[in-house]
Amino acid sequence: MKYISFAIPCYNSQDYMAHAIESILPGGEDVEIIIVNDGSKDDTLKIAREYEGKYPDIVRVVDKENGGHGDAVTAGLTHASGSYFKVVDSDDWVDEESLHKILAPLRRFQDEGEEIDMLVSNYVYEKVGVEHKKCIHYRNVLPQDEIFHWQDIGHFRIDQYILMHSVIYRTDLLKLIQLRLPKHTFYVDNIYVYYPLPHVRKMYYLDVDFYRYYIGREDQSVNEKVMISRVDQQIYVTKTMIDMYDLNKISSKKLKNYMINYLAIMMTVSSILLIRSKKQENLAKKKELWTYLKKKDLKVFLKIRYGILGQTMNIPGKPGRKISSLAYSVARRLVGFN
């Protein structure tokens, strides 16, 4: 019985993938590790095959042509046989003690004939050079150690939104809704988290610091300079999420507000990258993005545009852009991202 399928998308990951794999192996035969080699040109595939040979009952290798992170996640999901599905990036890792604590209720659910759609746990920013590691938890927002529904959730702070790092989905749910992430596109982890939400009914939260999110490599996709250079992909993902649902038809008020606030964060990230690029053409892209949202859904646009984030990102003129940029810098230091 495989309770969790862990997909590890790998592209030229030879220098750090072993840490991710080794951190999951203590789950034993209760877990499945799917190493997805996304067309690597280094020894990634060789290392993956070595683990597959050493742990044939735990590790599987999917070797495919390069399609990007999202396509590798999709491939991992396609081959997943576990009851639940978790993505671990090849430069991140998980905490062993927390892994055992997460497996325990999943075993219990299986024995009782119960199932949940989404399990949430904490994640830690493992930022290079920072002694105090920022932990994102949900203990003030989500009921602990019990199955709950959307009407039971509290108010999320801006740094508490559920990311790929903190979520484990039921595998059959992701397959049923035919989750497919865009190829050759960065930042699709937002789509991965956002798209299944209206299909989620039963949830469970464990207050354990499970996922370790490494930040420090110069070429990382969350490095600000890299994000600015790929801002068109950030815009594409944001527009994709805008088009995904008519949020006014979401029956749960709390879920609808959560999804609107998630979109507000996406609009903010896109806007601030466009502002900080200091390119006139990108200021035009920022205006076009807000116009796009307005045309798609006026009600949602008004909520986001005249909320705190929307107002902060749209202060007029050069002085206004400086204030927006300063607000972002403060938030980045407080939260600890990129």
Can you give the pLDDT at residue 309?
87
Residue 293: closest CA among 248, 238, 254, 251: 238
3-state DSSP assignment of residue 222: coil
Pairing relation of β-strands 147-148 and 167-170? unpaired
Cβ neighbourhood burial of 298 (10 Å; 0-12, 13-18, 19+): exposed
pLDDT tens digit string along 92-146?
Answer: 999 999 999 999 999 999 999 999 999 999 999 988 777 778 899 999 999 998 9
pTM, full prediction: 0.93
Looking from the CA of 61 toward its CB, the CA atoms found within 13 Å total 18
- The token pair that represents 331 in the structure block: 């938030």
Judged by phi (left if over 0) then psi (alpha if -120 to 50, else beta), residue 278 lies in left
Q: Which residues contact 74 (CB under 8 A, 6 or more apart)?
A: 179, 180, 181
Is the CB of residue 168 less than 8 Å from the CB of residue 102?
yes
pLDDT tens digit string along 30-49?
Answer: 999 999 999 999 999 999 99
Is the CB of residue 123 less than 8 Å from the CB of residue 110?
no
DSSP 152: G
pLDDT top residue among 215 and 247 = 247
Can you give the pLDDT at residue 194?
98
pLDDT over 90 (residue 22)? yes
For 65, other C-beta atoms within 10 Å of its C-beta total 8
Is the CB of residue 230 less than 8 Å from the CB of residue 144?
no
pLDDT over 50 (residue 338)? no
